[in-house]
Amino acid sequence: QVQLVESGGGSVQPGGSLRLSCASSESIFSITRMGWYRQTPGKQRELVATITTGGSTNYADSVKGRFTVSRDNAKNTVYLQMNSLKPEDTAVYYCHALYYYLDYWGQGTQVTVSS
């Protein structure tokens, strides 16, 4: 079992920045891949960014150049730095972990981008 706890969501104006954190109950050395997904009402959950144990990253086209995913192995935490936020980035953001072929999700954190 992996427990994931997100933090850092909130409201920000367009062009602003936020940093999301995801703390894992398991050592992230043993987690194959971690990342962030987001979901808006009536839509499917979509990939935002992922990072593997080896540090390889993958981003949705819509966030490339604006968002950065990173990990702090000592703190068992993955981050999502979000810059140049747009209203269309408004969503509930979920942390995800792929651990021994099983998917684990955090409870989600709301990000609202509005003037």
Tell me the C-alpha distance between 113 and 40, whole Å: 13
Contact between 36 and 96 (Cβ < 8 Å): yes
Tell me the C-alpha distance between 46 and 93, whole Å: 10
Q: Maximum CA pair distance of the chain?
A: 42
pLDDT tens, per residue, the chain with 115 residues: 899 999 999 999 999 999 999 999 988 888 999 999 999 999 999 999 999 999 999 999 999 999 999 999 999 999 999 999 999 999 999 999 999 999 999 999 999 999 9
Smallest CA-to-CA distance from 13 within 95, 92, 82 is with: 82
Eight-state DSSP code of residue 43: S
In the chain the first and final C-alpha atoms are separated, in Å, by 40
